[in-house]
Amino acid sequence: MARRIFGMALLLALGAAGCATQAGFDARMQALVGQPTSVLAERLGPPTADFVADGRRYLLWTDLGTPAPATIGPGAGFGLGGAPLSGQGIASGPLMPNRTGSRPMSSCAVRFEIMDDRAVGFLTEGAGCDAVPPR
Residue type (1 letter), 13: A
Q: In sequence order, what are the residues at sequence separation of 6 or more whose Cβ sits closer than 8 angstroms to the Cβ of residue 89?
A: 77, 78, 79, 80, 81
Q: Ranked by mean pLDDT, which of 46-55, 61-70, 87-96 comes out on top? A: 46-55
Cα(18)–Cα(38) distance, integer angstroms: 31
Residue 25 scores a pLDDT above 50:
yes
61 neighbors 107 (Cβ within 8 angstroms): no
- What's the pLDDT score for residue 128? 82
| Each residue's pLDDT tens digit, 76-86 | 555 555 555 55
Cα(89)–Cα(81) distance, integer angstroms: 8
| Each residue's pLDDT tens digit, 72-124 | 555 555 555 555 555 555 554 444 444 444 444 568 999 999 999 999 999 99
| CA atoms within a 13 Å half-sphere pointing along the CA-CB vector of 107 | 4
DSSP state of 88: E
Architecture of domain 20-67+104-134: 2-Layer Sandwich (3.30)
DSSP class per residue in 55-73 = TEEEEEEEEESPPPPPP--
- What's the pLDDT score for residue 16? 47
- What's the pLDDT score for residue 82? 58
Cα(30)–Cα(2) distance, integer angstroms: 43
- What's the pLDDT score for residue 134? 73
Global pTM value: 0.59
Give the residue extent of every domain in the chain. Answer: 20-67+104-134
- What's the pLDDT score for residue 36? 97
- What's the pLDDT score for residue 9? 47
Count of helix runs (H) and strand runs (E) in the chain: 3, 6
- What's the pLDDT score for residue 47? 95
Q: How confident is the model at residue 130 (pLDDT cuts 50, 70, 90)?
A: confident
